[in-house]
Structure 1
Amino acid sequence: MVPAIALAGAGSASAESGYQSYPVAPGVQLKVRSGPGTNYSVVKVLTLGAWVTIRCQCEGTTISGPYGTTNLWDCIGNGQFVSDAYVKTGSDGYVAAHCG
Structure 2
Amino acid sequence: MSEKSEAGQAQSLAAESGFQTFPVAPGYRVNVRSGPGTSYSIVKVLPYDSYVSIRCQGPGTTVSGPYGTTNIWDCIGNGQFVSDAYVHTGTDGYVATRC
TM, length-normalised to structure 1: 0.84
User: If each structure's helix is expressed as a fraction of its own residues, which one has the higher value?
Assistant: 2
Pairs aligned (count):
90
4+ runs deviating over 6 angstroms: none
* Structure 2 gaps, min length 5: 1-7
1:68 aligns to 2:73 (yes or no):
no
Query: Where do 5+ consecutive residues of structure 1 fail to align?
Result: 5-12
SS of the residue aligned with 1:40? coil
1:94 maps to: 94
CA distance in structure 2 between the partners assigned to 1:42 and 1:34 by the alignment: 6
| One-letter identity of the residue aligned with 2:82 | V
TM-score by length of 2: 0.85
Aligned runs of 1:1-80 on 2, under 5 Å?
Answer: 3=11, 14=15, 16-80=16-80
Amino acid at match of 1:94: Y
